[in-house]
Structure 1
Amino acid sequence: MPRRKIPYTKRATTLDEQLEKLRRHGVIISDEPKAKEYLADIGYYRLGFYLFPFEQTYPHLDHRRQHMVNPGTRIEDVVALYYFDMDLRNILNKYLSRIEVAIRTTIIYELSNKYNSNPTWFVDPNVVSSDFIRKFPNEAYRSIKNKLPIQRHHAKYLGQYAPAWKTMEFMTFGNLEVLYDSLIWDRDKSLISSHFREFAIETFKSYLTAIREVRNACAHGNVVFGMTLSKGIRAGQACPSFSANEQQSFKGALRVVDYMLRQVSVNRANDMWNELWSATSRLYKKTPTIRTVIESQTGIIPQKNRCFLHLLRSLLKKIVKFARKKR
């Protein structure tokens, strides 16, 4: 039964009122001018997303939530988490772009060469679904045709669309995800997924969705470290198994990002982890109490511990393999 809605009665508050509200929730504010500077810069509402992990009732957002923070929580701790999340977005943006370019290039190369007699195979009903073709002019090409290279193409050549290698350079990652899903033939989808060593088509599709959602969160300044994906990631090469609640978590998505980046460049994947470890180290120096939450939400753990866990997983795999041979 739908929950009964009630009138919204809250009003805007001043910086002084916001500080008082934070104090009522148990937040320690020792430097009021600096605290007001934080609120004026970040905003009370946005900062509230980063206050949430410090609450005594975390992670509950339902009737169990009481807003009181753990004893000793300072406003500086909350701000440190905010800047950590900003670092996280900036780091991931750089490497997600590398993954996106690789996926885009693979689709263009593989399918343009397979259908080399049709440069606009992306609107061919023998290759992609009629629904994609019908929506493409308004949902994708309307903005693409305003790009200068595409304008130059149409000024010189006949045809409704520029060829795939021009058009798809300006398609959003969301457009690419829909295009992949709209390919009629599984063998065409496999051409793309197998390039990244994931041979299960639906699993690869779930990777694309996870990457798009993390990329969008990074691009639009949303909370990243505790984000929830709209759909679950399927078990596969990136994530052979999941712990509880990991399929739709940022932790699961980061495993996909790591896997896909390693198919592009192992060195770049190692660079990403070095930057992530540096960012978490800076956070823990400022607010060590948040460490357990960050590690559980992200899977970003100190390099030494990560190496130990990798060795432990490898050992367990060998034990399981040996046990199966003995049967």
Structure 2
Amino acid sequence: MTRGKKTDGLMRHLRDNKQMDINGSRQKKELLQMGYYHGYKGYRFIKDKSDPIPLTKFDELKAIYDFDMNLKSLLYPHIMTIETAVKNYTIDTLVPHGSIELDYAFKHFLLDYKSEPVGSKDYNTKMKDRLTLKKKIDNEISYKYAKNDIVTHFLRSDTMPLWAIFEIIDMSTFGNFLKCLNQPLRIENADNLGLTHTAVLNDGNLVHDIIFLLKPLRNAVAHNNVVFDCRFAGKTRARNSVKSYVNVETGVQQIQFKYLIDYFILIVLLLKKLGYNKTELKKIIRLFQDETELLRTKIPTSLWNRINGSDLNVKITDLTTYAQT
């Protein structure tokens, strides 16, 4: 039987086996608050356990933990706003084209597979995407029936509007919905959101590419997982079209989505498109910058650069200029 350690034992373990300076009642309470397994073990490396952070002071680890928690608190409401708004803009795009009931959408809107030769590889891939989307939505409706008042009400009325579907599906499924729309509707939706630029090809894919890119961050923030080092991205890679668009639209260089600042830049861009004013954007940017500067005072500069990128302040300056134009 495996026996755990009380907090005093964990502190001795950190001192004796991890060469970490941790002592006293204050740090004991801080370790209890952050947790040894969720806290210390989750923040002792960057992206992967094979890249440990060479920390010898508990206060430095606590600073990274606080930085991570504060960024999640900052980002959460804005990511939720973006998710909700993009869903509403999509409804707004589709309304002029007919009914917004689910069955009508599958018959008239979600037809991207028809843009490919019947039986071709691309046709089969897009058809499978459409079938998978339908299965996921049907499964969600089945699961939520009699548990969710909205679903129950509309099923008993023998209809299911898209806005009700958007209330119950996750961000990934919503991204797949956007992906399955026929191209003219995808392009119209991007235009409706203001996500087009004459210098970037508008093939209608930008909106769902952004949704898929933000999905892991959204989930990490919502479920209180680590975000400071972008480990949430996993195998998700930003498409070149998204990188190019963010660069051209904001004027910020070196957008690679390797550091959290690039995700933050995308979020600010989207908030501006959704109507946030200059004062609101300036406040959000300042809060992000304040957190990064506070962390700078508490950990070695070399580690700060590994976490944030050596060009963070340049990006913040360019982002502020964009937000104020």
Equivalent of 2:306, from 293, 310, 314? Answer: 293
The alignment partner of 2:246 has SS state of: coil
TM-superposition CA deviations, 1:26-72 (whole Å, max 9, x none): 3222x33223222222222222222325xxxxx7743xx6x6835xx
Conservation of the 8 A alpha-carbon contact between 1:123 and 1:133: no
**Pairwise mapping of residues 5-154 of structure 1 onto structure 2 (< 5 A)?**
12-23=4-15, 24-29=17-22, 31-46=23-38, 47-52=40-45, 61-62=49-50, 69-70=54-55, 73-116=56-99, 119-121=101-103, 123-128=105-110, 129-140=130-141, 142-143=143-144, 146-154=147-155
The alignment partner of 2:225 has SS state of: coil
Is 1:279 paired with 2:291?
yes
Name structure 1 gaps, 5 residues minimum: 1-8, 54-58, 312-327
Counterparts of 2:53 and 2:207, CA distance in 1: 42
Counterparts of 2:261 and 2:78, CA distance in 1: 16
**Structure 2 match to 1:259:** 269
Name structure 2 gaps, 5 residues minimum: 111-129, 197-201
Change (3 A) 1:222 1:239: farther
The alignment partner of 1:107 has SS state of: helix
**Pairwise mapping of residues 172-321 of structure 1 onto structure 2 (< 5 A)?**
172-183=170-181, 185-194=182-191, 195-198=193-196, 199-228=202-231, 229=233, 230-234=235-239, 235-240=243-248, 243=254, 246-247=256-257, 249-267=259-277, 268-287=280-299, 289=301, 290-296=303-309, 300-301=312-313, 306-307=316-317
TM-superposition CA deviations, 1:219-263 (whole Å, max 9, x none): 11111110232321123311459749x345534323322222221
Conservation of the 8 A alpha-carbon contact between 2:137 and 2:165: no
The percentage of counterpart residues that share the same residue type is 18
- Displacement of 1:10 after TM fit? 8.3
- Displacement of 1:288 after TM fit? 5.8
The structure with the larger Rg is 1
**Structure 1 match to 2:199:** none
Counterparts of 2:247 and 2:98, CA distance in 1: 33
**Structure 2 match to 1:319:** none
Conservation of the 8 A alpha-carbon contact between 2:289 and 2:316: no
TM-score (norm. length: structure 1) = 0.73
The alignment partner of 1:69 has SS state of: coil
Conservation of the 8 A alpha-carbon contact between 1:233 and 1:248: no
The alignment partner of 2:205 has SS state of: helix
Counterparts of 1:203 and 1:153, CA distance in 2: 32
The alignment partner of 1:50 has SS state of: coil
Equivalent of 1:168, from 155, 161, 166? Answer: 166
The alignment partner of 1:51 has SS state of: coil
Conservation of the 8 A alpha-carbon contact between 2:145 and 2:151: yes
Counterparts of 2:209 and 2:134, CA distance in 1: 22
Counterparts of 2:204 and 2:132, CA distance in 1: 20
- Displacement of 1:166 after TM fit? 3.2
- Displacement of 1:12 after TM fit? 3.5
**Structure 1 match to 2:115:** none
Counterparts of 2:30 and 2:270, CA distance in 1: 37
TM-superposition CA deviations, 1:131-189 (whole Å, max 9, x none): 4224321135532763223433445x3x1x42123332333322211211222x11111
Q: How many residues align?
A: 283
Conservation of the 8 A alpha-carbon contact between 1:89 and 1:224: yes
- Displacement of 1:270 after TM fit? 2.8
Change (3 A) 1:137 1:306: closer
Counterparts of 2:91 and 2:132, CA distance in 1: 20
Conservation of the 8 A alpha-carbon contact between 1:104 and 1:168: yes
